[in-house]
A and B are shown apart, each in its own frame.
Chain A
Amino acid sequence: MPIDSGDTAFVLICTAMVMLMTPGVGLFYGGLVRRKNIIAMISLAFIAFSVVSLQWILCGYSFAFGTDIGGFIGGLDYLGLAGVGMDGDGIPDLLFMAFQLVFAGLTLAIVTSGAAERMKVSSFIVFGLLWTTLVYDPLAHWAWGGGWAASLGALDFAGGTVVHISSGFGALALALVIGRRVGFGTYTMEPNNIPLTLIGGALLWFGWFGFNAGSALAANGLAANAFVVTNTSAAAGAIAWLVASWYRGKPSSLGMISGAIAGLVAITPAAGFVDPLSAIAIGAIAGLLCYGAMLFRLRRGLDESLDAWAIHGMGGLWGAIATGIFAVAAVGGVDGLLYGNVHQFLIQVVDACAALVYAFCVTYALAWIVDRTLGLRVSEEEEYVGLDISQHGESTRV
Chain B
Amino acid sequence: MMKMIIAVIRPEKFEQVEKALTEKGFPAMTVSEVRGRGEQKGIALRSRGGPVTVDLIPKIRIEMAVPATFAETVVQIIREAARTGKIGDGKVFVLPLDMAAKVRTEEVSI
Q: Which residues of A contact B (CB under 8 A)?
A: 36, 122, 183, 187-188, 379, 381-382, 384-385, 389-390, 393, 397
Q: Hey, what's the 0/1 contact readout for B38-51 against A, CB within 8 Å counting as 1?
A: 00000101111000
How far does the alpha carbon of A122 sit from the alpha carbon of B16 in the complex, in Å? Answer: 35
Decide yes or no whether B54 CB sits under 8 A from chain A.
Answer: yes
Residues of A within 8 A of B106 (CB): none
Most buried by A among B12, B13, B48: B12
Decide yes or no whether B67 CB sits under 8 A from chain A.
Answer: no
Measured between C-beta atoms, what is the minimum distance from B58 to chain A in Å?
A: 7
For the complex, count residues of B whose C-beta is within 8 A of A.
14
Interchain CB contact (< 8 A) of A393 among B12, B46, B52, B57: B52
Query: Judging by beta carbons under 8 Å apart, are A187 and B45 in contact?
Result: no
Interchain CB contact (< 8 A) of B47 among A36, A187, A390, A397: A390
27 A–B contacts, CB within 8 A, in A order: A36-B58, A122-B48, A183-B12, A187-B12, A187-B13, A187-B15, A187-B16, A188-B15, A379-B45, A379-B46, A381-B43, A381-B45, A382-B45, A382-B47, A384-B43, A385-B43, A385-B45, A385-B54, A385-B57, A389-B52, A389-B54, A390-B45, A390-B47, A390-B52, A390-B54, A393-B52, A397-B35
Residues of A within 8 A of B46 (CB): 379
Q: Hey, what's the 0/1 contact readout for B3-16 against A, CB within 8 Å counting as 1?
A: 00000000011011
Among residues of B, the one whose C-beta sits closest to the C-beta of A390 is B45
State which residues 28-80 of B face A: CB under 8 Å: 35, 43, 45-48, 52, 54, 57-58
Measured between C-beta atoms, what is the minimum distance from A373 to chain B in Å?
A: 15
How far does the alpha carbon of A389 sit from the alpha carbon of B56 in the complex, in Å? Answer: 12
How far does the alpha carbon of A339 sit from the alpha carbon of B108 in the complex, in Å? Answer: 79
Interface class of chain A by DSSP: helix
Among residues of A, the one whose C-beta sits closest to the C-beta of B47 is A390
Measured between C-beta atoms, what is the minimum distance from A396 to chain B in Å?
A: 11
Measured between C-beta atoms, what is the minimum distance from B9 to chain A in Å?
A: 12
How far does the alpha carbon of A393 sit from the alpha carbon of B55 in the complex, in Å? Answer: 12
How far does the alpha carbon of A389 sit from the alpha carbon of B58 in the complex, in Å? Answer: 12
Q: A187-B15, A379-B45, A382-B47 are in contact. List 4 more A-B contacts (CB 8 A).
A: A122-B48, A188-B15, A393-B52, A397-B35
Among residues of A, the one whose C-beta sits closest to the C-beta of B57 is A385
Residues of A within 8 A of B35 (CB): 397
Residues of A within 8 A of B16 (CB): 187
Measured between C-beta atoms, what is the minimum distance from B38 to chain A in Å?
A: 15
Measured between C-beta atoms, what is the minimum distance from A276 to chain B in Å?
A: 46
Residues of B within 8 A of A385 (CB): 43, 45, 54, 57
Residues of B within 8 A of A389 (CB): 52, 54
Measured between C-beta atoms, what is the minimum distance from B28 to chain A in Å?
A: 23
Residues of A within 8 A of B45 (CB): 379, 381-382, 385, 390
Residues of A within 8 A of B12 (CB): 183, 187
* 4 residue pairs, one from A and one from B, having the closest CB atoms: A187-B12, A385-B54, A187-B15, A381-B43
